[in-house]
A and B are shown apart, each in its own frame.
Chain A
Amino acid sequence: MNDSATDHAIPTLDSTEAHRLAQALAAELAKALVGQDGTIRDVLCALIAGGHVLIEGVPGLGKTLLVRALAKAVSAQHARIQFTPDLMPSDVTGHALYDLKSEQFKLRKGPVFSNFLLADEINRAPAKTQSALLEVMQEQQVTIEGKPFALAAPFMVLATQNPIESEGTYPLPEAQLDRFLLKLRMDYPALVDEVALVRENLAGRLGQTFNLEDVRPVLGQAQVVALQRAAASLDVDEQVLDYAVRLVRATRDWPGVRIGAGPRGSIALVRAARAAALLDGLRFVTPDAIKTVAPAVLRHRLQLAAELEIEGQSSDDVLAQILAKVDAPRT
């Protein structure tokens, strides 16, 4: 993150203020995305923890809407890339173009130069394009023609995967899945919410436009960075840290798990828990925060044995068992 340039503009937030801002942001997003409070919370959690999310869900649940609402609520830029099999790495990052008139190379920046990037159906692009994006996610900078370009903060990638059509896709390798802080499962809204959503969307609207007028910018980009810093400064007690690491280690030798989460998983778990604690208005991380975020943090970091998959068990089922078995800290 290019913090030094913007340091002076970033306010310091105490936990009450941070909680208030986060709540305001959540409330704005809930205006646009009806009935997906869990997803909004998780996305905010990833945003505050400075991570990226992988969202799995059938089409039409409002993933693009979420990104646009998020960008609008924090007055930031957003971009959307539809991943296709012929998408090239330079389509994502950008490239240098020779300008005949000025006889110079001109830089054309790709869609990654934005704050919120929606990478739609990331598993439809071949491995080299995927890894170009994943590299950007990890390094927070882009190298074009040998020159590094830092990305603006905050930078967050929301990648989506469609769980039902796996024909002709390039599934993300485990090492790359690890780069996503959270993997979310977006599900259909409840009946009441869906009715409200349909009514809302039909009220005097033409065609397929999004309902974004109600979303007001409540935060600046600097405040988002401030929120991230506030989360990073939260206390993590030794016991809570120990609990998080014990949870992650339990995934490694759990029966039916082929490969468990690595140390990056432990780090991600505590990072996400800090953000969750901030969203709850706490000044410290509780075991509860760890336990709440554990499924989203760990579900894409487990590889189940073939027998369990044949039995129809998902990594969520295994994680639920692990969470019910690992002792919570007590003092």
Chain B
Amino acid sequence: MELERLASRVRPRRSWEAMDLGFRLVQAWWWPVQRAWLLFALPAFALAFLLLQAYPSWIPLLFWWLKPLYERAPLEVLAQAQFGHVPGTRELLRQWRRLLLRQAIPALTWRRFTLIRSFSTPVMQLEGLAGDERAQRLRVLAQGPNTRGAQWLTFGCLHLEGLVYLAILALLAALVPQELQLDWQGALTGEDARWEFLLAGAGFLGTALVAPFYVAGGFALYLNRRTELEAWDIELAFRRMKKRLAGGLTTSIVLALVLAAGWPAEPVWAAEPATATAPKPLSEEERVRIALDEREPPSSAHQAARAAVDEVLAGPDFHRMDTEGHWKLRDFDLSNKNKKPKTARQSWLEGLGAALAGGFKFLLYIALALLLLFLLHRYPQWSRWLGRNPRLKREAKALPEQVAGLDVRPESLPEDVAASAEALARAGDARAALGLLYRASLAALVHREALSLKASHTEGEILRLAQAQRPAAAWLAYLESLTRAWQALAYGHDAPPTQALLALCGEWRPAFDAEARS
């Protein structure tokens, strides 16, 4: 492979960044890629249309089922475009047998539901592997975050397709004039076949718009994984260095470095998952040092070169630290000691399960947070209702002091209410006297009889409330006459005769004064 001819910049990327690179690839070669997809998808759709005219609801299913086959041509275009050649329609048509038929049966049957199709297709198509070889290779490639990226890509594109599909339908619906009475119900229940054709068409458009991005995203993930495994970036760096330093002694050093450092990386990194006995992979720095040590006895030129190499090795290029942290389940093996290696099918099932579980976990967290918020919000009411929290109970009891409109706190009242009222009455201030009596009575109702009074309660309502809650209370008659007198004074400007007022003052004590009663 002529790596230096690669059109995109080669470096290890995170999976999201790699997918982004794929989308940039589509931006660069959109029409060739789209055309390549349409090349086989359009005839397939037309064929499905013709074959299934009688069963229009099966058209989208058949078309969807054959999807892996149309994705091969755009992949071919993308792969070749990386090396500067964009295959034309005719060239692709000439290869139809290779593009469509190779491993078509597995791709359409047991591999149809894999979530990493975009990632695994290049293994089959570009590396030409099949059977056990392919499975083994895929097992190696599928380690690492790129696989998860491929799964997310599948989920994302699936939803994007749905969105585009709905958007197309919405656009069509918006363009229908209002005067046209459409039978939407026919559309929803599938009674009207024309709707089925329309929906299938919209589905085709949605798939067509998203497919290039899906293919390119998977392809970029595949490239990324290989860059990681085979250290393409390092290889390219060395090749560039070789070009720059061509000739002389240095060439042999660089070649030695390349041979010693670059190539051994492949078998080590690309090996099966490390067993307990496998040696720890050497860092680049160590490898370079070993390569230098194993060489011929040092000459002066070599020593100079060695000094230069040491300098480079001490530089920032070899001391980059990347720290990645994530939670990982501890390795506890409960039952099956001799675990078989997972098949592709198991792995995708696990992937699906993990993705679904992740989604549900997220939703559960949201639900939990909402529940907590709701509980916090309702806590005061409930705790008052349950009567468990004495602090809140006290608050609830204390509430009327502030809201009853009148100041009914006991400390705002004089020590001897009846005597003060009587003094006021004798002084001729009937309003102050009655007001004091009424206020003191309300305070007694609130604090002793635990009536819950609100600011919106009128005098008559307070009286009725008292009658309803304490029908047998001795003070009811007094409260009634006091209320009448107060209403007449406050709203009718009709002061009671002094005698009656004094009588009210005198009766207050037996009715409401706690000390007098006890």
- A positions within 8 Å CB-CB of B: 235, 237, 239-240, 282-288, 291, 323-331
Contacts and interface: CB of A to CB of B under 8 A. Distances in A.
A81 to B, nearest CB: 39
A329 B494 CA distance: 17
A240 B455 CA distance: 15
Given A328-B405, A330-B406, A235 B493 contact: yes
A321 B391 CA distance: 28
17 contacts: A239-B490, A239-B491, A240-B491, A284-B491, A284-B492, A284-B493, A286-B491, A287-B491, A288-B459, A288-B460, A291-B460, A323-B456, A327-B456, A328-B459, A328-B461, A329-B405, A330-B406
Given A235-B493, A237-B493, A326 B435 contact: no
Contacts of B455: 327-328
Given A284-B487, A284-B493, A285-B491, 9 more contacts: A235-B492, A237-B493, A283-B492, A283-B494, A284-B488, A284-B492, A287-B458, A291-B461, A327-B456
A86 B494 CA distance: 56
Contact of B461 (A282, A285, A288, A329): A288
Contacts of B492: 235, 237, 282-284
Q: Closest 3 interchain pairs by CB?
A: A284-B492, A288-B460, A330-B405
A282 B487 CA distance: 10
B226 interface: no
Nearest to B404: A330
Given A239-B490, A331-B435, A326 B405 contact: no
Interface residues of B, number: 20
A240 B460 CA distance: 14
Contacts of A284: 487-488, 491-494
Interface in B410-455: 431, 435, 454-455
Contacts of B493: 235, 237, 284
Contact of A324 (B406, B454, B487, B488): B454
Nearest to A325: B456
B490 A324 contact: no
B491 A291 contact: no
B311 to A, nearest CB: 75
B457 interface: yes
Interface string B382-410: 00000000000000000000001110000
Contacts of A329: 405
A324 B493 CA distance: 26
A287 B490 CA distance: 11
Contacts of B461: 288, 291, 328
A328 B488 contact: no
B157 to A, nearest CB: 39
Contacts of A237: 490-493
Nearest to A240: B491
A319 B456 CA distance: 13
Contacts of B405: 327-330
Nearest to B442: A330
A320 to B, nearest CB: 11
Contacts of B487: 282, 284, 286
Interface in B294-344: none
A328 B488 CA distance: 16
A328 B461 CA distance: 10
Interface string B489-501: 0111110000000
A275 to B, nearest CB: 16
A328 B403 CA distance: 11
A323 B406 CA distance: 18
Contacts of B404: 330
Contacts of A235: 491-493
B459 A286 contact: yes
Contacts of A325: 456
B239 to A, nearest CB: 70
